Structures are given as C-alpha cells and as structure tokens.
Amino acid sequence: MNEISQKDQAILARIGVNEVEKRDRRRQKRDFGVALLFMSPALLMVCGLLLAPVFYNVYLSFTNWRKFTGLDELIGFANYERMLGNPFFGEALTNTAIWVVASIVFPIAVGLGLALFLRDVRFSNTFKNIIFIPRILAPTAVGVLWFYVYAPQGLLNRGLSAVSGQQVDIGWLYQDNTVTPAIIATFVWQTVGLVMVLILLGLAAIPKDPVEAAQIDGASRFQTFRHVVLPLLTPTLLVVTILSVLAGFTVFDLLWVMGASYPGQRSLSLAVYMYFEAFQKGSWAYGSAVAVIIGLVVLSVTWVQAALQQRVDRMVR
Amino acid sequence: MAVNLELLDYDAIARRESEKRYGKWWTLAGAVLVALVWLVPFYYLAVSVFKTQTEYASGLPLALPNSLTPIIGNAVEAWTRAKMDIGMLNSAFYGVVGAGVAVLFAAMASFGLTRLNFRGKDMWFMIIFAGTIFPFQMYLIPLFFAYQKVGILNTHLGMLLFYIAICIPFPTLVLKNFMNGLSREMDEAARMDGANEFTVFWRIVLPNAWGPVTATFLLQFTWIWNDLLFSTVLGNRAETRSVMNSLQVFQGSYSSSGPNLVLTAALLASIPSIFLFFVLRKHFMEGMKVSAL
C-alpha cells in the first residue's frame, strides 16, 4: 500500500501534477482578485444603497425614533403592537388584502380570457397590440388620465348619464366603497396586456400532439381545454399570478395620483400608509415597522412561489 | 369513385374553412367591442388635448374638437406651468446616465462571474441579486435619513446614485446568463496574445453582448423615466424633480385650472416612452419577456 503510493507519488512528481495543481490554485487566487475587482462597483452600490438600508430599516423598527428623538432608544416590539390597535392600519391592511385577491383573480381571468379569445380571431395581432398599449404608458400618466375619467363631471359619469337617461353623479374617487374598485379597474386595464402576452407565449409552447389526440378521441373543446391545455398551462399561470400579486401588493403610483382627492388616502394600502406615517407625520420608527411587515409579506410570497415552482417542475417532468 | 367537381359548392367550402380557422363572425364583433372599450380612454385623451378650456368644460367629453390649433397653446402652457423642461432634462439625465452606468457595472460583474475561475460564484451573485427581492418601501426611510446626514438629499448626485444601484441586479441576472453561453475560445486567444482581463472584457465580451446590453438598458431607462416614488422621497425639489413627479405635482396644484392642461402634460411626459417603444419594439418585447420570466 505504502509502496504503491510512494511509486505513485514519484510518477506524479515526474509528470509535474503537483506543480500543475499549485499553479491552478495560484491562478484561482489571482482570478478571484481580478473577479472581485470587476464585481466591486456592483457589490458596493447594491450593498451600500439597497441591502444596508434594509437591515437598518429592521433596526429602526425596534427603536422609538420620531421627529428628532429616540433614534437610540430601543423599545422592542412596541411599534408592531401599536399597529394592531390602529384603525388606519386595519383599513390599509383590508384594502391591501382586496388588492391581493383582485390581482390574483382579474389578471388571470381577464388575461386568460382575452388570450384564448383573441388567439384565433381575424386580425388577432392588431387586437393583441391594442390590449397591450396601456402598458407602455407610465403609471403616473395612466393615473392622471383615469383621474379625469372618474371625475364627477368626467367621462364615466357623462357616459352613464347618456346611457341611463338620467343624471349620474358618482364621486368614484371620493367615496369609501368605490375608490378601491375604481383604481383596481385602472390597474387591470394597464397590466392585463402583459399578462395576456405571457399566457399567449405559454399557449404557443404547448405541444400540438396531446391536443390533437384528445380531439380525435372525441373530446369537446371545453374538455380539451380543461383536461389537456389547462394542466400544461399551469406553470405559466403560476408565474403570472405571482408577478401580478407582487405588483398589486406594492402598487403606489396609481394610489398616490388617483387617491389624491380621497380623504382617507392614507388607508388605501400599506404602501401609502407607510409613506404617510413616516414622511408626513414623522413617525419614522413606526413607518419602518410597517415597511418590515410589507417586506415579510413579499418575501413569503416569493418563498411560496419558489416552493410551488419546484413542485410544478417535478410534476411536468 | 369520381367526384363531380361541378356539383361542389366552392363558396360553402371556403366559408367552412374560414370559420374553422377564425371562428364565427360574432367573435370578430366581440373582439372589436373589447378593443373599443380599451381605446376609449385614449380617444378621450386625444380629443381633450385639442380643446380650449371653455370648450372642454362646456362640451361632451368625447365630442370632436372644434379645431386643432389649441394644442399649441395647451402644450406651451402645460410645459411652462408644470416646469416640464426641468423635469424632462432631469429624467433624461437620470435615465441615460443611471441606466448606462448600471448596465456597465452589471456587465462587469457578469464578466467576473462567468469568465473567471474562482469558488463561491453563486454566493457573490446572490448578494447582487438580493437587491431585487425586497419591496421598495424598505429602502425609503433609511435612505432618506442617510441622504440627509451626508447632505445629498434633493441633489442630482443622490438621485443618480440610487437609480444606478436599483438598476444593477436585474441586468446582472440577464447578462450573466447570456455571457455564460458565449464561447470562451476568443477570450483564451486574446489572453494568449497578451491582452489583460479588462481588454478581454471591453474588446471581446462586451461587443458580443450588445443585444442584451441594449435591451436591459432600455428597460432600466424606462423604469427610471417612469419612477415617481423615489423622486418624491429623495429629490422633491423643483430643481431635482423627475418628469413624473413634476406631472403629479402639476395635477395636484392645478386641478382647478382645467383637466385638458394636465392631460396635455401627461401626454408630453409619455412621449419619450411611447417613442422608444415603437422605435425599438423588438428589443422591448424581448426585454419584457426576460423581465417577466
């Protein structure tokens, strides 16, 4: 045993494997230095301006920082406890939950519906482009446009008056029960085009054979869709759902622009509520705590997506 | 079995074939209806910017304008009152320099991550990519506070620094995947000829990655151009405001002076992104696809 290894070592030394290994290690060290040099601008910017603030934000949420005092005064979970009793927080949470449900249901229902419907229509590309157009505008510009569509003397009320024959005078963006649905409608109008395009890509990637086999076996169009197309489309639908949930959960621009005249603007969503508490009231620590809650929800949605993705990948394979 | 060609009803066959391909006529009618509903807000925008204030206030919202000339007055007034010149210049500066530098940094990082040999690449990549997983709300308060301390709150430099940082992680993901697929033979040949690593990056890898570099640049430029939140928090002064922030401020302060002026401002602010979309449609669609998947 010993003899062999000695012999081996001799051979290895003769062909210079040790040298090669050493050179390799040296080269790896040198390469790492060079790579670090190449990565350092990106690392510095991301760590300094994105990751460090996140950690600092978590720290702040445990302090008593308000206006100009209390930055170094740790108060544990008091900021989080304060949320529980706050009616504005409760309303903001409810509205955010409505946004999450709506951004699961509507983009999928409308996007899938439009994708299936517009796929085989004549001039299908023209129609698809029309549905996609709102997506190119900035959310701020879309918010401004729809702000006037919903205005008391605006397009929607005038249109409803003309159709119904009587004066319609709804303050869409001023009333508690209409403001969130109205803004959600605008959100769907703007974002469903991309959802549709993604679903169309998913549909195009579905192999023809199983669909044709089902048709030959006498399956109806609905049966084919339900039992062949839909299961194959699930991965796409999953990605699309998660994307729209994250977008709907953190939406700010539309609420900021369209909710400007609504008296309860601060409770339109957690994102707006956090802005009000920190930047208008000066409750910095409390605002940080709200931001942490938003972060926790986003991270758990991302985590659920990763888990589901793995399961779907395994199913497809 | 012979088929009597003269007995075949060619029109009926053509109709059946076309129906099989496109569906019944009412599906087309339905599609037209959906498209009209989708386009009404745009039509409303298009006619409103051609109306004078009295005309807008007195007529029906969807009525055609009396003449096309009022748009000039509207544009001039919206432009000066909303301080669009400063907003546009600021946003163009943030967008071009911010997205440009960000994509350059991302390309450099991707070069390091794909063309050089060292351990723990995944970890280094995850550090950079971690910049995309947190919601924006978690950055706001610490950045506002730190900017105030350092003295770059409400400055062009402060805005630019943040825009560069936020635009790095996503292009890094795209460019890393792309550079992974590029052949390494050219690098080795250049190294044999005595080129240093930076030359390899600048002369060989970067020119070959031009397609995804432009696509990610355009996406990030549009992101910066459309941003409202960070401009509101970190640069809310007349001199540093982005164009979308100017628009929002204009809407807030002049809601009494006539929606048609604010709508004109919204149209002006959107022209660059609409223009970019149509000129660079193919790049854009590719970018959208990668951004979503």
- Domains of chain A: which residue ranges? 2-53, 78-135+193-316
B168 contacts on A by Cβ (under 8 Å)? 42, 45-46
pLDDT value at A215 more than 70? yes
SS3 B252: helix
pLDDT value at A256 more than 90? yes
Residue B285: Cβ within 10 Å count: 14
Cα separation of the two ends of chain B: 55
pLDDT value at A80 more than 80? yes
Name the residue with higher pLDDT: A74 or B3: A74
Q: What angle do CA A117, A120, A126 make, to 5 degrees?
A: 85
Distance CA B107, CA B176 (A): 8
Name the residue with higher pLDDT: A119 or B257: A119
Q: What is the pLDDT of residues B168-189, one digit of tens each?
A: 999 999 999 999 988 888 888 9
B26 touches chain A (CB under 8 A): no
What confidence score (pLDDT) does residue B82 get?
86
Q: What is the pLDDT of residues B50-97, one digit of tens each?
A: 998 888 888 888 888 888 888 898 899 889 888 899 999 999 999 999
Cβ distance of A260 and B252 shorter than 8 Å: yes
Tell me which long-range contacts B199-204 makes (C-beta under 8 A, separation of at least 24): B200/B115, B201/A38, B201/B107, B201/B108, B201/B111, B201/B115
Distance CA B233, CA B231 (A): 6
Q: Kindly give, in sequence order, each residue whose CB lies less than 8 Å from that of residue B14, ignoring residues fewer than 6 positions away.
A: none
Gyration radius of chain A over CA positions: 28
What region, left, alpha or beta, does residue B254 occupy, with left being phi > 0 and alpha being psi -120 to 50 degrees?
Answer: alpha
Residue B225: Cβ within 10 Å count: 24
Cβ distance of A298 and B133 shorter than 8 Å: yes
Q: What is the pLDDT of residues B235-247, one digit of tens each?
A: 989 899 999 999 9
Residue of A nearest to B146 (CA): A53
Structural tokens at position B48: 């409103």
Annotate B106-131 with b (16+ C-beta within 10 A) or e (fewer): bbbbbbbbbbbebeebeebbebbbeb
Residue of B nearest to A289 (CA): B138
Residue A133 is given by DSSP the state: G
Residue of B nearest to A285 (CA): B141
What confidence score (pLDDT) does residue A2 get?
53
Cβ distance of A189 and B229 shorter than 8 Å: no
What confidence score (pLDDT) does residue B293 get?
42
CATH number for the domain whose boundaries are A78-135+193-316 = 1.10.3720.10
Distance CA A298, CA A296 (A): 6
B139 touches chain A (CB under 8 A): yes
Those of residues 192-221 in A touching chain B at CB distance below 8 A are 194, 197-198, 201
What confidence score (pLDDT) does residue B165 get?
97
B45 touches chain A (CB under 8 A): yes
Structural tokens at position A86: 């706050």
A57 touches chain B (CB under 8 A): yes
Tell me which long-range contacts A52-55 makes (C-beta under 8 A, separation of at least 24): A52/B142, A53/B138, A53/B139, A53/B142, A53/B143, A53/B146, A54/A295, A54/B134, A54/B138, A54/B139, A54/B142
What pLDDT band is residue A270 in, cutting at 50, 70 and 90? very high
The mean per-residue pLDDT over the stretch A64-82 comes to: 86
Those of residues 65-94 in B touching chain A at CB distance below 8 A are none
pLDDT value at B253 more than 80? no
**Complex confidence, ipTM:** 0.86
Q: In chain B, which segments carry CATH 1.10.3720.10?
A: 80-292
What pLDDT band is residue A60 in, cutting at 50, 70 and 90? very high
The mean per-residue pLDDT over the stretch A52-65 comes to: 94
Residue A124: Cβ within 10 Å count: 16
Those of residues 231-290 in B touching chain A at CB distance below 8 A are 232-233, 244, 247-248, 251-252, 255, 259, 262-263, 265-267, 269-270, 273-274, 277, 285, 288-289
**What rounded mean pLDDT belongs to chain B?**
87
Q: HSE (CB half, 13 Å, CA atoms) of A110?
A: 22
SS3 A304: helix
pLDDT value at B288 more than 80? no
What pLDDT band is residue B112 in, cutting at 50, 70 and 90? very high
Closest CA to A206 of A240, A233, A238: A233
A100 contacts on B by Cβ (under 8 Å)? none
Cβ distance of B127 and A43 shorter than 8 Å: yes
SS3 A171: coil
Please state the pTM of the whole predicted model: 0.88
Q: What is the distance in angstroms between the Cα of B162 and the nearest Cα belonging to chain A?
A: 7
Mutation site, B21, B49, B137, B202, interface A, largest A CB count within 10 A: B137
Cβ distance of B228 and A139 shorter than 8 Å: yes
What pLDDT band is residue A289 in, cutting at 50, 70 and 90? very high
Q: What is the distance in angstroms between the Cα of A6 and the nearest Cα belonging to chain B?
A: 31
Beta bridge partners of A104: none
A189 touches chain B (CB under 8 A): yes
Q: What is the pLDDT of residues B264-275, one digit of tens each?
A: 999 999 998 888
pLDDT value at B20 more than 70? no
Topology of the domain comprising B80-292: MetI-like fold (1.10.3720)
Q: How far is CA A248 from CA A190, A191, A254, B94, B132, in A?
A: 12, 10, 10, 26, 16
A154 contacts on B by Cβ (under 8 Å)? 61, 259
- Among B95-104, B189-198, B219-228, B238-247, the range with the most confident prediction by mean pLDDT is B95-104
